[in-house]
Homo-oligomer: A and B are copies of this chain.
Amino acid sequence: MIGIVIVSHSPLIAEGVKQLASEMTQGRVKILSAGGLDDTTIGTNTERIYRALLEANTSDGVLVLADLGSAVLSSQAAIEMLPEADQNHVLISNAPLVEGAIVAAVQASIGEALEAVNAAAEAASTMNKLQ
């Protein structure tokens, strides 16, 4: 089963997305949060993301969900700190953070592979919530 890392400029958002996605999948998926510069300051922190990647890492890979472009840059830097063999098993998603994380967690929980989980998460951007 793949792992999931939630990267947000806000520590509250990252932790909240982790909790929500974990609750919706009854804790069956390894979901790590890496939000904020620290626990109370808005920003991103490559070292925090790196540690989350290490902890989420399974042989099936890790999907990273990020809130904004600059969170993607920090995630890319964190991935480059991983051993080269692990770097290929980590994918940064273009999915919307909250909606994508929930879809990703559900797909991961049923054992979907990394690329399939990411495709489903990215498709969340076209969901119509108003129906």
Decide: B16 and A94 in contact? CB cutoff 8 A.
no
CB 8 Å contact bits of A1-43 with B (1 = contact, 0 = none) = 0000000111111111101100100000000000100000010
Copies in the complex: 2
Question: When the two chains form their complex, are residues A16 and B23 in contact, meaning their CB atoms are under 8 A apart?
Answer: no
In the complex, the answer to whether A129 meets B94 with C-beta atoms within 8 Å is: yes
Chain B residue nearest to A102 (CB atoms) is B68
Report whether B98 and A67 are in contact in the complex, using a CB–CB cutoff of 8 Å: yes
User: Quick check: is A114 within 8 A (CB to CB) of the other chain?
Assistant: no
A126 within 8 A of B: yes
A-B contact pairs, 19 of them (CB 8 A): A8-B98, A9-B20, A10-B17, A10-B19, A10-B20, A13-B17, A20-B42, A20-B67, A23-B42, A67-B99, A68-B99, A68-B102, A69-B131, A92-B130, A94-B129, A94-B130, A96-B97, A97-B98, A97-B99
Tell me the A residues contacting B by CB distance below 8 Å.
8-17, 19-20, 23, 35, 42, 66-69, 71-72, 92, 94, 96-99, 102, 124-126, 128-131
